[in-house]
Each structure stands twice: as C-alpha cells, then as structure tokens.
C-alpha cells in the first residue's frame, strides 16, 4: 500500500509524474482506483504536474431495485463523480469515467431504451449533468476483456458506440473492440461523423424519443442517432438528414 498522505511519497510521485511528462512525453494521467484515496491528494498530483488531461476511475455500484436492475434514478451515483471533479478543481483538466452512463447503457440496450431519458428529460448519466467532465465508455480492461467483470452485452456493443460517439462527453474506444473484434471500420465511421460535424464534450443533446424499442436523439441540430429495433422512424427524422452510418439496431443521420 502507498501512504498518499506521506509528504515524501507525494513529493516523489510528483517528481515521477513530471519526469514522465518532460522526458518520456506523456501529457495525461489516469487515476486508477481513485476512490482509494482522497480527491485532495489527486488535486496535489494534478496541480503539481499540470497534465493537459486527467481522468479518474471511480467505480462504485449503481443503485439497484428488487428486480436486480438499476433504478431509473441514479443521481447519487453521478453526484459522486461530480463531487470528485469539484474537489480536484472544476477549472482544471480533471475528468472522471462516466460509469453511470456505462451501467445504464448495459441494461438499456436489452430492450429498455426508455432508461436513456432521465427523470429530468436529460441523459441519465454524468453526461446529463456535466458532460465536459465525463469520459464515456462501453467497456474497459476491467469490465470487459479477460476480466469480464461488468461486460456490455456482446451482441449490442455497436449500439453502445453509436450512443457515446454521437453524444456529449469525451468518448473512449476499447482496444479489444477496435482491434480484436473486427469493429474497426464501423467504429471509424462513427468517429468520422463526430469529427465531421464537430460534436464535442459539451454538445447540445435533445432526446426526441425514448421507448422500450427506440431511442432517438439529436445532437447540436446536426446529427441524429437511433438505437433499437424499431425500423419505421422516418416520420421523426427532419428533412435534409441522410444516413451516414448504420448497423445492427442503430443508425446515424
């Protein structure tokens, strides 16, 4: 164990971070198991090494109901993520992985897409509150891969990417999905849509529909994304929009 309250430990870790930055060329940090030490300590490391980007892994359990599924209201879960960023410094480079969105998406794509509209009408994860500080994901080395601790439904992974790559927040792509699953071209198409239309972490999200079999949303008035098996949605798509990417139970205009 590392005693992060020990001043010598702090000093040596800061020196190591600055060496990684100056000599090796890293310019961002990932804080593993960030709930294992205080945000005040993380703030010391960020303030004294000044990375251009920092993301924390604060992975805690969602609130579950008696049916074993996440509650519709996950405000306490996303508040914990928001609190960490607030304590570390909202004006700095600190962000957190949006595990709230990940957990809700896991279940929503299994025929419960209504979950993707929160009680306030916004996205139900951290991106609904503070998208600039939310790093969205479908899976990572812990949740998916060989560890398989909280995997996304494997036959619906591209629905997950259609969501995070069109929505606000800072999306990240899992190595396994991109290089090992044969999804590179499909993911690349979604990335190019995001890039071409300038979708960014603070883009404006308007949820048009959120039913069991259909989620439809418009981002910045430029991009529309559909998740779910419902096919006939032409009446909901404004004129002038053309399909730019599509796959199993998703489409992007």
Dist. CA 68–CA 51, nearest whole Å: 40
Tell me if residue 202 is catalytic: no
- Hey, which bits of the chain come out as E strands? 28-31, 53-56, 94-97, 134-136, 170-171, 205-210, 215-219, 223-227, 245-247, 250-252
- Report field, pTM of the whole predicted structure over 0.85: yes
Query: Of the listed 57, 176, 202, 220, which one is catalytic?
Result: 57
Structural domains of the chain sorted by starting position, each given as residue range(s) with its CATH number in brackets: 58-202 (3.20.20.80)
3-class SS letters over 141-187: CCCCCCCCCCCCCHHHHHHHHHHHCCCCCEECCCHHHHHHCCCHHHH
**Of 193, 123, 181, which Cα lies nearest the Cα of 152?**
181
Tell me if residue 23 is catalytic: no
Query: Which tens digits make up the pLDDT trace of 24-67?
Result: 999 999 999 999 999 999 999 999 999 999 999 999 999 999 99
Query: Which tens digits make up the pLDDT trace of 88-122?
Result: 999 999 999 999 999 999 999 999 999 999 999 99
Query: Of the listed 12, 15, 27, 32, which one is catalytic?
Result: 32
* Interaxial angle between packed helices 39-49 and 7-19, expressed in degrees from 0 to 180 and rounded to the nearest 10: 40
């Amino acid at each position: 164990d590392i005693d992060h309250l020990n001043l010598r430990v702090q000093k040596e870790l800061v020196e190591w971070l600055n060496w990684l930055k100056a000599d090796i060329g890293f310019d961002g940090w990932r804080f593993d198991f960030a709930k294992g030490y205080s945000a005040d300590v993380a703030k010391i490391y960020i303030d004294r090494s000044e990375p251009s980007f920092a993301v924390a892994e604060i992975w805690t359990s969602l609130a579950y109901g008696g049916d074993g599924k996440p509650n519709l209201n996950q405000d306490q879960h996303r508040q914990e993520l928001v609190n960490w960023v607030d304590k570390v410094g909202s004006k700095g480079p600190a962000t957190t992985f949006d595990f709230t969105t990940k957990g809700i998406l896991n279940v929503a794509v299994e025929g419960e897409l209504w979950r993707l509209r929160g009680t306030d009408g916004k996205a139900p994860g951290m991106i609904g509150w503070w998208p600039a500080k939310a790093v969205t994901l479908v899976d990572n080395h812990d949740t998916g891969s060989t560890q398989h601790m909280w995997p996304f439904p494997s036959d619906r992974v591209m629905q997950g990417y259609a969501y995070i790559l069109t929505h606000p927040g800072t999306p990240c792509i899992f190595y396994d999905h991109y290089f090992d699953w044969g999804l590179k071209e499909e993911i690349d198409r979604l990335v190019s849509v995001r890039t071409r239309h300038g979708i960014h972490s603070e883009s404006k999200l308007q949820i048009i529909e959120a039913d069991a079999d259909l989620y439809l949303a418009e981002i910045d008035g430029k991009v529309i994304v559909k998740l779910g098996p419902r096919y006939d949605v032409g009446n909901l798509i404004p004129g002038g929009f053309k399909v730019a990417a599509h796959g199993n139970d998703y489409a992007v205009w």
